[in-house]
Structure 1
Amino acid sequence: MDSVVIFTNFRPIYIFFIIIQAISLINIISQIKHHKPINGYAIFSISFICSAVSAFLTYQIGILSDELAIGGDPVSFDMFIVVVIMSVVNFLVVLRNTKKE
C-alpha cells in the first residue's frame, strides 16, 4: 500500500510537465507571423528541461523500486514517454515554422 503512495507523489510533476509542453505546443501553433511571444530557443530550452527532469524522476523511481523491492510504476513511465514525445513534437513544429519563413 505504501509503495503506491510513493509513486503517486511523482505524478503531479509529470502532469505539470505535460501541461507545460501542451501550452508550448499551442503557443507555437497559434503564433502570428509578425508577433512571436516566444522564440525557438525558449521552446528548445523548455523541452530539454522537461525531458531531463522527467528522465531523472523516472530514474529515481527505478532506484526506489529496487531498494524497496517493489514493482515500478507503469503510469509514471507512460507519463515520461508522453513528455518525451511532446518535447520532440515541439522541436519538430518549431523547425517546421522556421523553415517556412
Structure 2
Amino acid sequence: MNDFFPNTLSYIIGNGAANPYSEYGSRVIFYMQYFGYFQADIGMIGDYSKYGIFFVLTGLFLIFRIITMRMPAEISFVKYMFAGTLLMSFTGSGFFSEP
C-alpha cells in the first residue's frame, strides 16, 4: 500500500484515488476487494499515500491551530473534539478520509 509512482511529485501530491486503469490502482482495488485492506485503515500513512505530504501537513497545522487557539469557555469542547481527531488520525481513519 505504500508503493509510489517512480517520480518525486507523487511524494508531494500523493497518488490520488485508485482506479482500475493503472497498475497501482488495480493493486489497491484488489487489496480492498479481496483482503479488506483500505488506505484509511492506516491513518495518516494512508492519507499520505493517497493525498501527499501537503494534505497531511495542512491537516496537522489546522488541528494544532485549533487546539492552541484561545476560545471562550462555552465552546472549549471544540478543542477536545479536535484533540480526539488528532489522536485517532494516527491509528485509524485520517483527518477527512473515508474507507
Q: Of Structure 1 and Structure 2, which has the larger fraction of its residues in helix?
A: 1
TM range (shorter): 0.3 to 0.5
TM-score (norm 2): 0.35
TM-score (norm 1): 0.34
